[in-house]
Amino acid sequence: MTISTQRGCPYTCKWCSTAVYGQSYRRRPVRLVIEEIKELKATYNPDMLWFVDDVFTVSHKWLKEFHSEILKENIHIPFECITRAERLNDDILQLLKESGCYRIWIGAESGSQAIIDAMDRRVDVQTVKEMIQKTNRIGIETGTFIMLGYPGETIADIKETITYLKEANPTHYTITIAYPIKGTGLYYEIKNKITHQPDWETSTDRDIDFERRYPRKFYDYAVRKVVNEVEYFRNLSHSRWKAYKFKIKSIAITALLKRYTK
Protein backbone atom coordinates (compact mmCIF):
# COMPACT_ATOMS: atom_id res chain seq x y z
CA MET A 1 0.00 0.00 0.00
CA THR A 2 1.14 3.56 -0.64
CA ILE A 3 1.48 6.50 1.72
CA SER A 4 2.35 10.13 1.06
CA THR A 5 3.91 12.05 3.96
CA GLN A 6 4.88 15.22 2.13
CA ARG A 7 3.94 17.66 -0.62
CA GLY A 8 6.42 19.36 -2.90
CA CYS A 9 10.15 19.02 -3.49
CA PRO A 10 12.81 21.68 -2.88
CA TYR A 11 15.04 20.48 -5.73
CA THR A 12 15.22 21.73 -9.31
CA CYS A 13 15.55 18.74 -11.68
CA LYS A 14 14.52 20.02 -15.11
CA TRP A 15 12.65 16.90 -16.20
CA CYS A 16 10.56 16.51 -13.04
CA SER A 17 7.04 17.88 -12.78
CA THR A 18 6.48 20.60 -10.19
CA ALA A 19 3.14 21.66 -11.68
CA VAL A 20 1.06 19.86 -9.04
CA TYR A 21 2.84 20.57 -5.75
CA GLY A 22 5.44 23.18 -6.66
CA GLN A 23 8.92 23.48 -5.17
CA SER A 24 7.84 24.39 -1.65
CA TYR A 25 8.09 21.57 0.86
CA ARG A 26 5.39 20.62 3.37
CA ARG A 27 5.51 17.62 5.69
CA ARG A 28 2.68 15.90 7.54
CA PRO A 29 3.21 15.58 11.30
CA VAL A 30 4.73 12.24 12.26
CA ARG A 31 1.81 11.57 14.60
CA LEU A 32 -0.68 11.66 11.71
CA VAL A 33 1.49 9.42 9.53
CA ILE A 34 1.80 6.86 12.33
CA GLU A 35 -1.97 6.90 12.87
CA GLU A 36 -2.50 6.23 9.16
CA ILE A 37 -0.06 3.32 9.22
CA LYS A 38 -1.81 1.83 12.25
CA GLU A 39 -5.18 2.17 10.51
CA LEU A 40 -3.86 0.52 7.35
CA LYS A 41 -2.38 -2.31 9.37
CA ALA A 42 -5.58 -2.88 11.33
CA THR A 43 -7.81 -2.73 8.28
CA TYR A 44 -5.74 -4.33 5.50
CA ASN A 45 -2.62 -5.85 7.12
CA PRO A 46 -0.40 -4.96 4.12
CA ASP A 47 2.74 -6.95 3.32
CA MET A 48 4.70 -3.75 2.72
CA LEU A 49 4.38 0.01 2.41
CA TRP A 50 5.61 2.30 -0.34
CA PHE A 51 6.33 5.89 0.66
CA VAL A 52 5.70 7.83 -2.53
CA ASP A 53 7.40 11.05 -1.35
CA ASP A 54 9.95 12.53 -3.78
CA VAL A 55 12.68 12.69 -1.10
CA PHE A 56 11.68 10.68 1.96
CA THR A 57 14.78 11.59 3.99
CA VAL A 58 14.86 15.29 3.11
CA SER A 59 14.29 16.18 6.79
CA HIS A 60 16.50 14.29 9.21
CA LYS A 61 14.65 15.79 12.16
CA TRP A 62 11.34 14.41 10.87
CA LEU A 63 12.90 11.01 10.17
CA LYS A 64 14.33 10.72 13.69
CA GLU A 65 10.90 11.39 15.15
CA PHE A 66 9.36 8.88 12.73
CA HIS A 67 11.90 6.24 13.79
CA SER A 68 11.17 6.88 17.45
CA GLU A 69 7.40 6.55 17.00
CA ILE A 70 7.69 3.41 14.86
CA LEU A 71 9.67 1.69 17.61
CA LYS A 72 7.43 3.06 20.35
CA GLU A 73 4.28 1.74 18.62
CA ASN A 74 6.03 -1.55 17.81
CA ILE A 75 5.02 -1.34 14.15
CA HIS A 76 6.66 -3.96 11.93
CA ILE A 77 5.80 -3.36 8.28
CA PRO A 78 8.58 -3.44 5.68
CA PHE A 79 8.68 -0.34 3.49
CA GLU A 80 10.55 1.19 0.58
CA CYS A 81 11.15 4.82 -0.28
CA ILE A 82 12.86 7.23 -2.67
CA THR A 83 15.53 9.74 -1.73
CA ARG A 84 18.67 11.56 -2.81
CA ALA A 85 22.19 10.37 -2.05
CA GLU A 86 23.25 13.52 -0.20
CA ARG A 87 20.27 13.16 2.18
CA LEU A 88 21.64 9.83 3.41
CA ASN A 89 24.49 9.04 5.79
CA ASP A 90 25.46 6.17 8.08
CA ASP A 91 23.16 7.29 10.91
CA ILE A 92 20.17 7.84 8.62
CA LEU A 93 20.66 4.46 6.98
CA GLN A 94 20.64 2.82 10.41
CA LEU A 95 17.46 4.67 11.39
CA LEU A 96 15.78 3.57 8.18
CA LYS A 97 16.77 -0.05 8.69
CA GLU A 98 15.53 -0.07 12.29
CA SER A 99 12.27 1.54 11.15
CA GLY A 100 11.60 -1.31 8.69
CA CYS A 101 13.06 0.01 5.44
CA TYR A 102 14.09 -2.85 3.17
CA ARG A 103 14.65 -0.93 -0.09
CA ILE A 104 15.79 2.59 -0.97
CA TRP A 105 15.60 4.08 -4.46
CA ILE A 106 18.46 6.54 -4.89
CA GLY A 107 18.18 8.76 -7.94
CA ALA A 108 21.04 9.32 -10.36
CA GLU A 109 19.38 9.38 -13.82
CA SER A 110 22.77 9.12 -15.54
CA GLY A 111 26.31 7.94 -14.92
CA SER A 112 27.62 11.00 -16.73
CA GLN A 113 28.22 14.05 -14.57
CA ALA A 114 27.79 16.26 -17.65
CA ILE A 115 24.24 14.98 -18.17
CA ILE A 116 23.43 15.16 -14.46
CA ASP A 117 24.52 18.82 -14.51
CA ALA A 118 22.47 19.47 -17.66
CA MET A 119 19.45 18.14 -15.76
CA ASP A 120 20.21 20.51 -12.86
CA ARG A 121 20.21 17.51 -10.52
CA ARG A 122 22.80 19.15 -8.25
CA VAL A 123 24.39 15.91 -7.13
CA ASP A 124 27.75 14.24 -7.70
CA VAL A 125 27.58 10.87 -9.45
CA GLN A 126 30.38 9.57 -7.23
CA THR A 127 28.29 10.42 -4.14
CA VAL A 128 25.35 8.48 -5.57
CA LYS A 129 27.51 5.47 -6.38
CA GLU A 130 29.11 5.37 -2.94
CA MET A 131 25.77 5.72 -1.16
CA ILE A 132 24.27 2.83 -3.14
CA GLN A 133 27.27 0.72 -2.16
CA LYS A 134 26.91 1.74 1.51
CA THR A 135 23.21 0.93 1.49
CA ASN A 136 23.93 -2.49 0.00
CA ARG A 137 26.49 -3.17 2.73
CA ILE A 138 24.08 -2.37 5.55
CA GLY A 139 21.64 -4.96 4.20
CA ILE A 140 19.05 -2.70 2.57
CA GLU A 141 18.14 -3.33 -1.07
CA THR A 142 18.90 -0.51 -3.48
CA GLY A 143 17.33 0.80 -6.65
CA THR A 144 18.35 3.53 -9.03
CA PHE A 145 16.72 5.32 -11.95
CA ILE A 146 18.35 5.82 -15.35
CA MET A 147 17.22 8.12 -18.14
CA LEU A 148 18.63 7.82 -21.66
CA GLY A 149 18.13 10.25 -24.53
CA TYR A 150 18.42 13.47 -22.55
CA PRO A 151 19.33 16.44 -24.79
CA GLY A 152 23.05 16.47 -25.55
CA GLU A 153 23.71 12.90 -24.41
CA THR A 154 26.47 11.16 -26.37
CA ILE A 155 27.56 7.55 -26.74
CA ALA A 156 30.37 8.37 -24.31
CA ASP A 157 27.78 9.47 -21.73
CA ILE A 158 25.90 6.19 -22.17
CA LYS A 159 29.14 4.27 -21.65
CA GLU A 160 29.66 6.20 -18.40
CA THR A 161 26.17 5.17 -17.32
CA ILE A 162 27.01 1.51 -17.96
CA THR A 163 30.17 1.88 -15.86
CA TYR A 164 28.20 3.60 -13.09
CA LEU A 165 25.66 0.77 -12.91
CA LYS A 166 28.38 -1.87 -12.82
CA GLU A 167 30.32 -0.14 -10.05
CA ALA A 168 27.37 1.02 -7.94
CA ASN A 169 25.73 -2.41 -8.30
CA PRO A 170 22.18 -1.51 -7.23
CA THR A 171 19.83 -4.39 -6.48
CA HIS A 172 17.36 -2.98 -9.00
CA TYR A 173 17.47 -0.37 -11.74
CA THR A 174 14.93 1.05 -14.15
CA ILE A 175 15.62 2.75 -17.48
CA THR A 176 13.38 5.20 -19.31
CA ILE A 177 13.89 7.27 -22.43
CA ALA A 178 13.70 10.97 -21.58
CA TYR A 179 10.35 12.59 -22.28
CA PRO A 180 9.24 16.19 -21.67
CA ILE A 181 6.47 16.76 -19.14
CA LYS A 182 4.58 19.96 -19.85
CA GLY A 183 5.52 22.78 -17.49
CA THR A 184 9.03 21.49 -16.78
CA GLY A 185 12.34 23.14 -17.66
CA LEU A 186 13.07 20.30 -20.07
CA TYR A 187 9.81 20.91 -21.93
CA TYR A 188 10.55 24.60 -22.43
CA GLU A 189 14.06 23.76 -23.63
CA ILE A 190 12.88 21.42 -26.38
CA LYS A 191 9.35 22.62 -27.22
CA ASN A 192 10.52 24.08 -30.53
CA LYS A 193 12.14 20.74 -31.40
CA ILE A 194 9.10 18.52 -30.82
CA THR A 195 8.67 16.06 -33.68
CA HIS A 196 5.71 14.09 -32.37
CA GLN A 197 3.03 15.37 -30.02
CA PRO A 198 -0.07 13.18 -30.11
CA ASP A 199 -3.55 14.08 -28.92
CA TRP A 200 -3.61 14.56 -25.12
CA GLU A 201 -6.91 12.66 -24.88
CA THR A 202 -5.36 9.45 -26.19
CA SER A 203 -1.75 9.69 -25.00
CA THR A 204 0.60 10.83 -22.24
CA ASP A 205 3.76 12.94 -21.97
CA ARG A 206 5.75 9.75 -22.59
CA ASP A 207 4.54 9.71 -26.19
CA ILE A 208 6.04 13.12 -27.02
CA ASP A 209 9.22 12.95 -29.04
CA PHE A 210 11.73 15.61 -29.99
CA GLU A 211 14.92 16.09 -31.97
CA ARG A 212 17.81 14.37 -30.21
CA ARG A 213 21.44 13.72 -31.03
CA TYR A 214 20.48 10.35 -32.51
CA PRO A 215 17.26 8.96 -34.06
CA ARG A 216 14.57 7.75 -31.63
CA LYS A 217 15.14 4.10 -32.56
CA PHE A 218 18.75 4.42 -31.41
CA TYR A 219 17.60 4.87 -27.82
CA ASP A 220 15.39 1.77 -27.88
CA TYR A 221 18.51 -0.21 -28.75
CA ALA A 222 20.60 1.81 -26.28
CA VAL A 223 18.35 0.68 -23.41
CA ARG A 224 18.92 -2.93 -24.43
CA LYS A 225 22.66 -2.29 -24.73
CA VAL A 226 22.83 -0.95 -21.17
CA VAL A 227 20.81 -3.85 -19.75
CA ASN A 228 22.83 -6.55 -21.51
CA GLU A 229 26.19 -5.02 -20.57
CA VAL A 230 25.19 -4.66 -16.92
CA GLU A 231 23.68 -8.15 -16.72
CA TYR A 232 26.80 -9.61 -18.37
CA PHE A 233 28.88 -8.04 -15.62
CA ARG A 234 26.51 -9.17 -12.85
CA ASN A 235 26.46 -12.79 -13.98
CA LEU A 236 30.15 -13.15 -14.78
CA SER A 237 31.14 -14.28 -11.29
CA HIS A 238 28.55 -17.05 -10.84
CA SER A 239 27.27 -18.11 -14.27
CA ARG A 240 29.67 -17.56 -17.14
CA TRP A 241 27.36 -19.23 -19.65
CA LYS A 242 24.51 -16.90 -18.72
CA ALA A 243 26.90 -13.94 -18.72
CA TYR A 244 28.17 -14.73 -22.20
CA LYS A 245 24.62 -14.88 -23.54
CA PHE A 246 24.16 -11.28 -22.40
CA LYS A 247 27.51 -10.36 -23.97
CA ILE A 248 26.55 -11.86 -27.32
CA LYS A 249 23.33 -9.87 -27.28
CA SER A 250 25.26 -6.72 -26.41
CA ILE A 251 27.63 -7.22 -29.34
CA ALA A 252 24.70 -7.72 -31.72
CA ILE A 253 22.99 -4.57 -30.41
CA THR A 254 26.22 -2.59 -30.84
CA ALA A 255 26.12 -3.41 -34.54
CA LEU A 256 22.54 -2.12 -34.74
CA LEU A 257 23.47 1.08 -32.88
CA LYS A 258 26.17 1.83 -35.43
CA ARG A 259 23.52 2.09 -38.14
CA TYR A 260 22.06 5.13 -36.43
CA THR A 261 25.31 6.96 -35.73
CA LYS A 262 26.87 7.09 -39.19
Tell me if 23 sits within 8 A of 8, measured CB to CB: yes
pLDDT at residue 262, rounded to an integer: 72
pLDDT at residue 182, rounded to an integer: 87
pLDDT at residue 104, rounded to an integer: 98
Give the chain's length: 262
pLDDT at residue 200, rounded to an integer: 82
pLDDT at residue 99, rounded to an integer: 98
CA distances to 4, 36, 47, 69 from 42, in Å:
18, 10, 12, 17
Q: What is the pTM of this model?
A: 0.94
pLDDT at residue 29, rounded to an integer: 98
pLDDT at residue 69, rounded to an integer: 98
pLDDT beneath 50: ranges in the chain: none
Q: What secondary structure, in 3-state letters, does the chain show?
A: CEECCEECCCCCCCCCCCCCCCCCCEECCHHHHHHHHHHHHHHHCCCCEEECCCCCCCCHHHHHHHHHHHHHCCCCCCEEEEECHHHCCHHHHHHHHHHCEEEEEECCECCCHHHHHHCCCCCCHHHHHHHHHHHHHHCCEEEEEEEECCCCCCHHHHHHHHHHHHHHCCCEEEEEECCCCCCCHHHHHHHHHEEECCCHHHCCHHHCEECCCCCHHHHHHHHHHHHHHHHHHHHCCCCHHHHHHHHHHHHHHHHHHHHCCC
Q: Which CATH number fits domain 2-178: 3.30.450.90, 3.80.30.20, 3.30.70.260, 3.40.50.300?
A: 3.80.30.20
pLDDT at residue 44, rounded to an integer: 97
- Could you tell me which residues come within 8 angstroms of residue 250 by beta carbon, excluding any fewer than 6 positions away? 225, 228, 229, 232
CA atoms within 13 A on the CB side of 36: 14
